[in-house]
Amino acid sequence: MSKVLSVRDLRKEYGGTVAVDGISFDVGHGEIVGLLGPNGAGKTTTINMILGVLEPTAGTIHIEGLDIATQRSRALERTNFAAVYAPLPGNLTVYQNLRIFGLIYGVKDLAERIEVLLKQFSLESFRDVKCGVLSSGEQTRACLAKAMLNSPHLLLLDEPTASLDPARARDMRTKIREYAANGGGGVLWTSHNMYEVEGVCDRVLFLSNGKILLEGDPKTLRLDHGKKTLEDLFIAVANEPMALGKGQTS
Amino acid sequence: MNLNRVTAIVLRQFYLMRESPARVLPLFAWVAIDVVLWGFITRYLNTVTLSGFNFIPTLLGAVLLWDFFIRVMQGVTTAFLEDVWSRNFLNIFATPLSIAEYVSALVISSIATSCVGLIVMLVLARTVFGLSFFSYGLILMPFLLVLFLFGIALGIVCSSVVLRFGPASEWLVWPIPALISPFVGVFYPLSTLPQWMQYFSHLLPPSYVFEGMRAIVLGGAVSEALLLWGACLAVLYILLSCWLFTSVYHHAVRTGLIARYSAETLS
């Protein structure tokens, strides 16, 4: 499987605090990788560095071979993201936001693409509604539509289903699985919903204190570590990282 | 430079303006009030002074030029502040948009908004107070150009200040034109100022514009060399302001401030 994202020895320090401690991992085309870990483990810091809004203290990030440090624009043209903490501007309508971001990402046949996404994410009736008055679930869907605008080769999703009801969340998971399978895009997905992770991700990375403690297939990893469920494994990583971690495995 | 990306940011400003009287009104309301207020003051001065000196082209002309400069500066700053107010930094700066494209879009937005203010001022001054800007002749164009360039530079500096010190520092940038105005001699010749203030005046491009404007009104000639020097200074300030914004942006990316902007500081 060819790599869409390649992270090597990535490190971020804030003063004396190490947020991300020399992690390395890859995401392949058509692969969905779960980035898991307790609060403060370094997941969002890692995503911010991949998005180019946070400069690493050390290490490299390549998106389809393009170094984010030196070829930022070209690397980000093939990337997109959705995060609960980055809603679209509330003073613009769904359509306006999609048009603006579509222009920024250089989307071809933008008008048609927007119509497809409005339909795909059930946003047709909110087309001319300002994002600020949408419910949190509707805002999440608008963010996901923005994230899919440029059919990104690398899609970063930070808790993408956190505000969605179970039916919408399942629908969204299906869409993203289809996108990875059919479009060949790689997905880096963070979530605290282990049921979701097990159902969606091909591979998971468990982060704790900025290091990758475990890596593997979510369906078998729990069994490898004698845990009944992935959630049990998550709790063990959060509570007893030293007992589980044997350093980085990738 | 990708024109689509620049267009996207300008389009965003257009959408916001189109649907918001609160954004459109300040484009011309304050300048209109200034023109009316100073128009009547100058009329009154014309009646009480016996010198026969016409204050309208001196004082009202100065107000018009100064307001144009402020509108240009605020055009850049408010376009930038839209991203602050809507907490949009992460969405905007995690895209292929480059800093050069972003700043260019702020400048283009400012050209559009400041032109609205300028047109309203010209119409009001002409129709109500009989001041025609064309009476200054073609020299008006370099006057406006110098003020425009310096307004852009100051707008980018103000945006840098807000990016560096957080949303609350917005209140630091609004009074900056008022802080500069005593030094550039909007209403009086620079020779009125004490020597130490004049040193600063000579570093500020608008000083050359207002000195030139007064020279025309008094029947003298504008020093083209000095005006060119003012334009060169303004261009230099634009380059410095772009360097400042880029430096502040890189600092924000290095420290993580872009991603956590609402926190204002990371300490």
Using CB atoms, which residue from A52, A72, A103 is nearest to B8?
Answer: A103
How confident is residue B77, by pLDDT bands cut at 50, 70 and 90?
A: very high
Cβ–Cβ gap B96/A104 under 8 Å:
yes
Q: Which of A52, A54, A43, A48 is nearest to A190 (CA)?
A: A43
pLDDT of A236 above 90: no
Mean pLDDT of B117-126: 85
Residue A85 confidence (pLDDT): 85
Taking the CA of residue A75 and the nearest CA in chain B, the distance in Å comes to 8
Residue A249 confidence (pLDDT): 42
Mean pLDDT of A137-160: 93
Residue B32 confidence (pLDDT): 87
Chain A residues with CB-CB distance to B12 below 8 A: 89, 92, 96, 100
Cβ atoms of residues A63 and B86 within 8 Å: no
Chain B residues with CB-CB distance to A103 below 8 A: 4-5, 7-8, 11
Choice between B131 and A175, residue whose per-residue pLDDT is larger: A175
pLDDT tens sequence across A91-119: 999 999 999 999 999 999 999 999 999 99
State how far the Cα of A129 lies from the Cα of B12, in Å rounded to an integer.
15
Choice between A6 and A214, residue whose per-residue pLDDT is larger: A6
State how far the Cα of A135 lies from the Cα of A125, in Å rounded to an integer.
13
Residue A242 confidence (pLDDT): 65
What share of chain A in percent tops pLDDT 70? 95
Averaged pLDDT of chain B: 89
SS3 for A164? Answer: coil
State how far the Cα of A54 lies from the Cα of A42, in Å rounded to an integer.
12
- Least confident range from B3-7, B31-35, B69-73, B153-157: namely B31-35
pTM equals 0.89
Query: Is CATH 3.40.50.300 correct for A1-78+154-221+232-250?
Result: yes
Residue recorded with tokens 């060949």: A184
Q: How far are the Cα atoms of A79, A101, A143 from residue A115, in angstroms, in the given order?
A: 21, 14, 15
Using CB atoms, which residue from A48, A72, A146 is nearest to B259?
Answer: A48
SS3 for A6? Answer: strand
- Domain ranges in chain A are 1-78+154-221+232-250, 88-151
Residues in contact with A101: Cβ distance below 8 Å, sequence separation at least 6, in sequence order: A88, A146, A149, B8, B91, B95
Chain A residues with CB-CB distance to B108 below 8 A: none
Chain B residues with CB-CB distance to A72 below 8 A: 96, 98
Residue B210 confidence (pLDDT): 92
pLDDT tens sequence across A186-211: 999 998 888 888 889 999 999 988 99
How confident is residue B266, by pLDDT bands cut at 50, 70 and 90?
A: low
Rg (Cα) of chain A, in Å, rounded? 18
Question: Nearest residue on chain A to B266, judged by CA atoms?
Answer: A14
State how far the Cα of B20 lies from the Cα of B114, in Å rounded to an integer.
17
Residues in contact with B215: Cβ distance below 8 Å, sequence separation at least 6, in sequence order: B221, B222, B223
pLDDT of B117 above 90: no
State how far the Cα of A236 lies from the Cα of A227, in Å rounded to an integer.
9
State how far the Cα of A172 lies from the Cα of A168, in Å rounded to an integer.
6
Q: Which of B178, B188, B233 is nearest to B62 (CA)?
A: B188
Residues in contact with B158: Cβ distance below 8 Å, sequence separation at least 6, in sequence order: B73, B76, B77, B173, B176
pLDDT of B52 above 80: no
- Least confident range from A221-230, A236-245, B176-185: namely A236-245
Cβ–Cβ gap B4/A99 under 8 Å:
no
How confident is residue B3, by pLDDT bands cut at 50, 70 and 90?
A: very high
Residues in contact with B154: Cβ distance below 8 Å, sequence separation at least 6, in sequence order: B73, B176, B177, B180, B237, B241
Q: Are strands A3-14 and A79-83 parallel, antiparallel or unpaired?
A: unpaired
Residue B29 confidence (pLDDT): 87
Cβ–Cβ gap A101/B95 under 8 Å:
yes
Question: Nearest residue on chain B to A110, judged by CA atoms?
Answer: B4
